[in-house]
Amino acid sequence: MKLAVLLNPTWGYRIYMGSSTWSLDFILLILELEALRDLCWRRHWSTMLFRIVDLDKVALIVIDKYPLPPLLIPARTTHSRFFPKKHSFSYSYFYVGIPIGWKGRAGSSLSADVDLLPQYKRQYGWFNVNSDDYLHRGPAKGGLEGKLRTYLQSQGVQDEDWDFAYLCTAPRFLSYSFNPVSFWYIYDSRSQLVMMVLEVNNTFGERRMYLLKVGEGIGQEDGDATVAESNRFRDSWTKDFHVSPFNSRKGSYSLQAKNPRTSGDALKTAIDNTITLRSSKGGTKLVARVFSEGQALDPTTLTTLQLSRLVASWFWVGFLTFPRILYEAYRLFFKHKLHVWYRPEVLASSISRQATAEELRLEPVIRRFFQQQVEQYPSRMEVTYTPPADMGPPQVWKSINNSSSTTPLEECELRILSPAFYSRFVHYAHTAEALDREGRLTDEKNRTVAVEPPAVFDKCVRQRESSDFNGKSRKNDVVDEWRWKILRRLRCAPPAVSYGEAVAGTDSGVTVSDIRVRALSALDRYVRTSCEREDSEVYRRTVCKLFIAQRWAGGFTPLITAADWVLRLLLVAGAYRGSVLSVAGADSALGAIFAGFVGLVLGNAVHVWSFVKGS
């Protein structure tokens, strides 16, 4: 026996197995009446979902509405800086509230996790929340809920420790959004707000998630500021993420957040979160607040006119967030003359920026280079390679002799903290030097790689560098050898670090330069001997582009790309001009020969340039 039931997708449901009871028919009857009431009177066509319930196998179906439904939340954000100079601003803002686990579209205005639905059910709202934009980068099974569970488990929080979560965030409009901070409210089975996740993004494309728990902040005692006492969530934590160039990475944050879940009408849901930044000396430096203005809006009840007004009133907010940040930074720098703190590299607890096109091409080559070094290490070794968050999962490499039990196993982790490591690594001619200067021997704020313990991997690197890649390379033609010589001569030091360090044993004003003979690096030799010719050409072009950009374009590779396009356009224009000259010079024999020669050279100049580059 099966019964069709219309359900609202903003309801969660749990199924208890067992023998049938009289209460099942009663519950299903109520559900059908509720669905028909919504369908006939409220006309919630877009929120109806068709379910099939097998009465032979189900004893009881318990339907719970999500404690908080999908909502549209007009808001305002304010910032007040107290020192070293006073500065304040206030802007309108727009948030949406998403119950975690809900997916689909509510009305025509709001949708979430639509990509998880079958193709024929995908209907996007004007404002959309995509799980790819949150927590760890990229898609994940289960959408927002799957990502949240994975993140909480990585922080030691089990699924039974929480029951429901609600996300307040700035949505996408026309596939664009920029979220300085998103708030995840996490409730236990008693509907108490017990945890929050603050997901902070800076303008450099880096991300930091802070998991906050009631009563566990720095300087708090057990049971301090419980939700039951004040209906407000309070916590504090040490700052370890670079957000603004006008603040160092030192100090601490504190949060006071209003519980958005209130008894009664869900439309009275309000967000009111205040974040206070304190300096390392304890003084209040900055207070930022975001709070809802007026009543939240139910996306399923908006008329066409109300929806039009909503879109016209708020669509531009997301597009103006980044320009607003730049404008306030302009005022702080030029009007208030504030000191600028250069961006440090992220710590292991944060998510680094996204990789550039050059770094994406170099990562697999450098990964295979290190993997071969580990596999050919003569003793037992096991290395865990952890790339940046959006560049693949961790990998475990083992030496060929790993099966032997007569020697102790040496283990270490090679963690890439920033994709900048790949574009900086190729500048070094010596692998051990690169790992030292990008890792343990530089300021923590400059580190792009972490090796733990460093001594284990250092032995592997030095042993392989001195013994392996000096062998005879595969046969290369004259032009190929010439290209490698060009690469060797172009090699230069990587970009200067943001936080420089004095060289021991030198006086200020003394210039220290590298007087070693420029040579092919171990990575270069690996590419020549072990990689396919096509991969070798891609590597060589990418590395030469980085070297040229560092020498003559301030390290800005898009300038080199633009210059290459301009040169090719000029060569194409020259080829056309050459064809005109060859026709015009056909009146005389000598003129025809000269014009033909010029036309031939110009006509093939683009191909010659591609050949020189190795394209």
Contacting residues for 131 by C-beta, under 8 A, at least 6 apart: 113, 115, 116, 139, 140, 143, 144, 146, 147
3-state secondary structure of 428: coil
Helix/strand/coil percent split, the chain, to 5: 40, 25, 40
**Domain range summary for the chain, segments of one domain joined by +:** 2-65, 71-335, 357-499+517-554, 559-613
Residue 277 DSSP label: E
Are 488 and 528 in contact by the 8 Å Cβ rule? The answer is: no
Helix (H) or strand (E) holding 10: none
DSSP code per residue over 186-223? EE-TTS-EEEEEEEEE-TTS-EEEEEEETT-STTPPTT
pLDDT in tens, 370-398: 999 999 888 889 999 999 988 888 999 99
3-state secondary structure of 497: coil
Residue 133 DSSP label: G
As to burial, measured by CB atoms within 10 angstroms (0-12 exposed, 13-18 middle, 19+ buried), residue 103 is: buried
Q: Give pLDDT, residue 326.
A: 94
Q: Give pLDDT, residue 586.
A: 55
Residues 458 and 373: their CA atoms lie apart, in Å, by 11
pLDDT in tens, 277-300: 999 888 999 999 999 998 899 999
118 CB neighbour count, 10 Å cutoff: 6
3-state secondary structure of 108: coil
Q: Give pLDDT, residue 568.
A: 85
Structure tokens at 416: 């890439």
Residues 580 and 489: their CA atoms lie apart, in Å, by 40
Return the bridge partners of 382, or none. Answer: 398, 411
pLDDT in tens, 110-129: 999 999 999 888 899 999 99
Q: Give pLDDT, residue 607.
A: 76
Q: Which of 378, 365, 530, 369 is nearest to 463 (CA)?
A: 378
* Under-50 pLDDT residues of the chain: 1-22, 38-64, 221-229, 470-472, 503-505
Residues 235 and 255: their CA atoms lie apart, in Å, by 5
Are 449 and 441 in contact by the 8 Å Cβ rule? The answer is: no
The reply to whether omega before 245 is within 30° of 0 (cis) is no
57 CB neighbour count, 10 Å cutoff: 12
Q: Give pLDDT, residue 217.
A: 62
Handedness of CA 498, 503, 504, 510 (dihedral sign): negative
Q: Which of 114, 218, 540, 194 is nearest to 362 (CA)?
A: 540
pTM score, whole prediction: 0.81
Q: Give pLDDT, residue 580.
A: 60
